[in-house]
């Protein structure tokens, strides 16, 4: 059985990911699953324009939720996306931070 790819984020990173996860990006991550798909295929499956999906791909890649590779296609280079995570945990209040000032 393949291991679950998990990501736990805190602080500013958690806020950035929370901002990025909307109905569209969640649907994109679900469509990607474990297989790599190009931007055109993702756009068709989600029902949105390639330009919009490309922008969302850039954002998800920056947040390390997906990875991107480039492959030769019939008409040039295809941008292929693959989900890097199956589960994301957002830590809102981090109780592991020591309160040294209160010792």
Tens of pLDDT, residue by residue over 33-56, are: 878 999 999 999 999 999 999 999
Taking the C-alpha atoms of residue 1 and residue 17, their distance in angstroms, rounded to an integer, is 28
* Structural class in CATH, domain 6-90: mainly alpha
Q: Give the long-range contacts of residues 60-69, CB within 8 A, separation 24 or more.
A: 60/20, 60/25, 60/28, 60/29, 63/13, 63/16, 63/17, 63/20, 64/7, 65/7, 65/17, 65/20, 65/25, 65/29, 66/29, 66/32, 69/36
Please give the pLDDT value at position 87: 92
Least-confidence region, from 20-24, 25-29, 32-36, 77-81: 32-36
Is the per-residue pLDDT at 23 higher than 50? yes
Please give the pLDDT value at position 96: 66
Q: Where are the domains of the chain?
A: 6-90
């Amino acid at each position: 059985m393949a291991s679950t790819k998990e990501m736990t984020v805190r602080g500013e990173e958690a806020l950035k990911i929370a901002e990025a996860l909307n109905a569209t990006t969640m649907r994109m991550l679900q469509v990607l699953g474990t297989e790599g798909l190009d931007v055109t295929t993702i756009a068709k499956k989600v029902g949105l324009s390639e330009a919009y999906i490309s922008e969302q791909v850039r954002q998800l890649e920056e947040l390390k939720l997906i990875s991107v590779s480039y492959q030769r296609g019939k008409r040039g280079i295809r941008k292929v996306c693959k989900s890097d995570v199956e589960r994301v945990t957002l830590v809102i209040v981090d109780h592991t931070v020591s309160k040294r000032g209160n010792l």
